Amino acid sequence: MSEIKTIGVAGCGTMGAGIAIVAARAGFRTVVFDTRQEALDNALKQTDGFFAKSVQRGKMTEEKKATALANLVVTTTLENMAECDLIIDAVYEDLKVKHDLFGKLNKICPPHTIFASNTSTLSITEIAAGSGRDDRFVGMHFCLPAQLMKLVEMSPGLNTAEETFAKAWAACEAMGQRPVKTKDNPGFILNYFLIPYNNDAIRLVEAGVASPADIDRAIKEGLGYPMGPLELLDLIGLDTQLLLCEAMYGITNEPRAACPPLVKRMIAAGHLGRKSGRGFYTYEGNAMFGS
């Protein structure tokens, strides 16, 4: 296999854009694919803004910013992913969607290309089964926001080759991330705890126990967390939380993983979180407002 020099990111939502920032910042040529040109344009704008703030804070030079931006290529043509040595999917938490993506990529990419999924709930082995190269497939779950959080949960599938895992692990470290190895288990480490925990916070709001702001304040002050669960849910997106719950509950039948009804009502009203300007809080630009 060739050394990993070019990293592809398939899916350019909040998570995909963050992973692309991580890869480009680390010096990898980074090819980002999405079917929506608007999503790609937003990602480029977000990336430029993030790097500009990094320069202002003294964490990056203007020269390194220019280099990182030059490393980044966006495309709506899947065939342009053929040059990638490692491709990380950041599309919807839906097995059929991921199988369709990797099935197409398998026909496009050379044999040495490693496939990885950023899934946080689905089985790596099951996703790999539809990839056409389950020996060259690995789970790489980045934490949100990927450009700020260093942890990556690395999970081999049942048929993942040791060499594949080692190369993906090395690429993860080369991106400046801190990988941990997990078994291919529902939720891995973080979401095993986080999905039920976030749902419990939603149910407190649903029951009128306290306002989102007071729940978040209690968690941050009492437990020392940097972000409260309702703030985090607004960042993740309520539509994404629904998909996570459906995937986790479908696998485990754990009652606390079942999506609270409030989430579906909020989605129906268009209150998705930061990306829609309103969730548990309201947003204007980077400013957050809430009771």
CATH assignment of the domain containing 152: 3.40.50.720
* Set 54, 141, 198, 199: catalytic member: 141
Which of 72, 67, 64 lies closest to 17 in space, CA to CA? 72
Boundary of a domain, candidates 115, 148, 181: 181
Instruction: Tell me the CATH number at 239.
Output: 1.10.1040.10
* Set 123, 191, 198, 199: catalytic member: 191
Residue 1 is predicted with a pLDDT of: 39
What are the CB-based long-range contacts (under 8 Å, 24+) for 105-111? Answer: 105/10, 105/78, 105/81, 105/131, 106/131, 106/132, 106/133, 107/132, 108/78, 108/79, 108/81, 108/82, 109/81, 109/82, 109/84, 110/82, 111/136
Boundary of a domain, candidates 132, 160, 181: 181
Is residue 136, in this structure, part of any structural domain at all?
A: yes
Please tell me the total count of domains within the chain.
2
Average pLDDT, the chain: 94
Residue 2 is predicted with a pLDDT of: 47
Cα 66 to Cα 61: distance, rounded to the nearest angstrom: 9
Which residues constitute the domain of residue 271?
Answer: 191-283
Is residue 289, in this structure, part of any structural domain at all?
A: no
- Asked about 112 being catalytic, the answer comes back as no
- Higher-pLDDT residue of 2 and 84 is 84
Render pLDDT for 238-260 as a digit per residue (tens, 0 to 9).
Answer: 999 998 999 889 888 999 999 99
**Same structural domain for residues 32 and 80?**
yes
**Same structural domain for residues 141 and 257?**
no
**Same structural domain for residues 172 and 205?**
no
Lowest mean pLDDT among 26-30, 93-97, 159-163, 169-173: 93-97
Residue 224 is predicted with a pLDDT of: 94
**Same structural domain for residues 70 and 100?**
yes
* Set 54, 71, 117, 120: catalytic member: 120
Contact 108, 80 (CB under 8 A): no
What tokens were used for 189? Answer: 């480490």
Is residue 121, in this structure, part of any structural domain at all?
A: yes
**Same structural domain for residues 177 and 50?**
yes
**Same structural domain for residues 140 and 209?**
no
**Same structural domain for residues 86 and 226?**
no
* Set 153, 198, 199, 271: catalytic member: 153
Confidence of residue 55 (pLDDT cuts 50, 70, 90): very high
**Same structural domain for residues 172 and 47?**
yes
Residue 291 is predicted with a pLDDT of: 52
Render pLDDT for 112-145 as a digit per residue (tens, 0 to 9).
Answer: 999 999 998 899 999 999 999 999 999 999 998 8
Is residue 48, in this structure, part of any structural domain at all?
A: yes
Render pLDDT for 60-115 as a digit per residue (tens, 0 to 9).
Answer: 999 999 999 999 999 999 999 999 999 999 998 889 999 999 999 999 999 999 99
Is residue 288, in this structure, part of any structural domain at all?
A: no
Is residue 1, in this structure, part of any structural domain at all?
A: no
- Asked about 291 being catalytic, the answer comes back as no
Is residue 199, in this structure, part of any structural domain at all?
A: yes
**Same structural domain for residues 126 and 41?**
yes
**Same structural domain for residues 195 and 245?**
yes
The pLDDT > 70 percentage for the chain reads 99
**Same structural domain for residues 195 and 176?**
no
Residue 202 has pLDDT above 50, yes or no: yes
**Please, which residues have CB within 8 angstroms of residue 1's CB and are 6 or more apart in sequence?**
112, 114, 163, 167
- Asked about 153 being catalytic, the answer comes back as yes
Do strands 29-33 and 114-117 pair parallel, antiparallel, or not at all (unpaired)? unpaired
**Same structural domain for residues 245 and 168?**
no
Boundary of a domain, candidates 150, 181, 212: 181
Render pLDDT for 206-235 as a digit per residue (tens, 0 to 9).
Answer: 999 999 999 999 999 999 999 999 999 999
- Asked about 162 being catalytic, the answer comes back as no
Is residue 290, in this structure, part of any structural domain at all?
A: no
